[in-house]
Amino acid sequence: MSFESADAAETEPSQHPQQSHLSSRLSDTRRISIEIAEPLSDEDQVVQAMDDASPTKWHLAHTTWFFETFVLKQFDETYAPYDERFAFCFNSYYEAAGERHPRQQRGLLTRPSNDEVRGYRSHVDAAMQNFFTRKDNDVPAKAAALIELGIQHEQQHQELMLTDVLSLFSMEPLKPAYREVGSLPQEGPAAPLEWVDFDGGIVEVGHSGDGFAYDNERPSHEALLRPFRLATRCVTNAEWLEFIADGGYGTPALWLSDGLAAAREDGWRAPLYWEEDSDGWRQMGLHGLQPVDPAAPVSHVSFYEADAFARWAGKRLPTEFEWERAARDCPQRGHMLGHGALRPLAAKANGTDGLKQMYGDVWEWTQSPYSPYPGFKAATGAVGEYNGKFMCSQFVLRGGSCATPDGHIRPTYRNFFYPHQRWQFTGLRLAEDR
């Protein structure tokens, strides 16, 4: 199982992509979703571990519903829906698209069955290929833009499929592995923590020019940065163990008020999925319960924890524009889904200076609230609900993770979560003023 992504070339929503290339990318993306689900039993794919997570079966159906609703029903007059009732079951949060099943009850959807969902995917996939064939290189530009959006949307759900399965398996008494590999090797020492200096000044941020981008990455605009330093790698598990040993979770002065309340209410004393026994700390991952690797980046920490650690270290979290300024000089590659590790890996001392782990391994918390850029305008219609309506009470993360599909990420990409959430592969990189 390789999870190798399709060609990562991306297309501006206002442009008309080459039809054969778009069709191939769609097929490859749809295939990868099925490959992610293959190691799971039908029982695994039905259960919902918590309100923030969704069953694998629901992800497979929802991404199918997206193409059916926004492409086939709008642009293919010959399309016959597989089952009109599925629209209620598999709409997520698109108010303009109609009523929907409550998010927190997705685990109750024992019907339609997994076989029916697989049939639904096959039905829509065949209709999409028929749509490409019949249009004979004349797919409307608006339809092409929505297909591109659907591909990017499904890639996001591929990451969610893995993190949601991890959430489920962590609650299982047998602590099953999504992928069996035996004992994972310890990675050895991480690269030394060093610092890279950046000058202040006015910089351009946000997406401009060619290539796909979500609406929350636009418009490009200017931002003023003060001189700053960025750590060359992410914070490691070994460094987090020092924070724990020094009483970091029990030191109120390190914590934001809401963070301290969340930590006390939920009993936080370590990152999510960490368990301590007589042999030390172990961490539940997609390979099952394994010893914590001291050299690997810490993961599954909330914004509140990341902020408290930065204070403990005498540093701070970077702003999203500091991170973006630094990332523009880095190659867009790293330990992502196609690498196949399915876990964050240590930053190696490879004899080269500069920033490491800017892409892949763990999503990096920033101190920036998730808010619209100057001049932001959501798209019209239901797809306008994709990002804009969530611009409240969340924080921006950058860089992707070990579960992010290859080619999906870029310097301007803005992920966002509420400050208490921990079930994603979220970590941190330190920053400081110069």
Helix (H) or strand (E) holding 15: none
Q: What is the DSSP letter of 209?
A: S
> 245 and 153, same structural domain?
no
Is residue 190 situated within a structural domain? no
Largest CA distance in the chain: 66
Please indicate, yes or no, whether residues 205 and 272 belong to a single structural domain of this protein. yes
Residues 390 and 279 in one domain: yes
Q: Which residues, including other chains, have CB under 8 Å from residue 77's CB and lie 6 or more apart? A: none
Predicted confidence at residue 164, as pLDDT, reads 98
Same domain, 147 and 215: no
| pLDDT value of residue 11 | 36
Q: Which residue has tokens 């579960």? A: 403
pTM of the model: 0.94
The answer on 246 and 162 residing in a single domain is: no
The pLDDT assigned to 386 comes to 83
Number of structural domains the chain divides into:
2
Q: Same domain for 420 and 318?
A: yes
Query: What is d(CA 20, CA 17) in angstroms, rounded to the nearest whole number?
Result: 9
Q: 237 and 143, same structural domain? A: no
- Specify if 7 maps to a domain: no
Q: Is 33 helix (H, G, I), strand (E, B) or coil?
A: helix
Q: Which domain holds residue 355?
A: 195-433
The residues with which 431 forms a beta bridge, in sequence order, are: 230, 316
CATH code, domain carrying 384 = 3.90.1580.10
> Is the CA virtual torsion 199, 200, 202, 205 positive or negative?
positive
Query: What's the rounded Cα separation, in Å, for the pair 169 and 178?
Result: 8
Asked whether residue 5 is assigned to any structural domain, the reply reads: no
Tens place of pLDDT per residue across the chain (434 aa)? 667 765 443 333 433 446 778 999 999 999 999 999 999 999 999 999 999 999 999 999 999 999 999 999 999 999 999 999 999 999 998 988 889 999 999 999 999 999 999 999 999 999 999 999 886 667 899 999 999 999 999 999 999 999 999 999 999 999 999 999 888 887 788 999 999 999 999 999 999 988 899 999 999 999 999 999 999 999 999 999 999 999 999 999 999 999 999 999 999 999 999 999 999 999 999 999 999 999 999 999 999 999 999 999 999 999 999 999 999 999 999 999 999 999 999 998 765 679 999 999 999 999 999 999 999 988 777 788 788 899 999 999 999 999 999 999 999 999 999 999 999 999 999 999 99
Residue ranges with strand state E in 194-252: 195-198, 201-205, 221-225, 228-231
Q: Are residues 246 and 105 in the same domain?
A: no
| Residues 369 and 250 both lie in one domain | yes
Assigned domain for 322 exists: yes
The total of other beta-carbon atoms located within 10 Å of residue 153's CB is: 20
**Residue 126 sits in the same domain as residue 235:** no
Considering the domain architecture, whether residues 270 and 200 belong to the same structural domain is answered as yes
Is residue 323 domain-resident? yes
Residues 149 and 234 in one domain: no
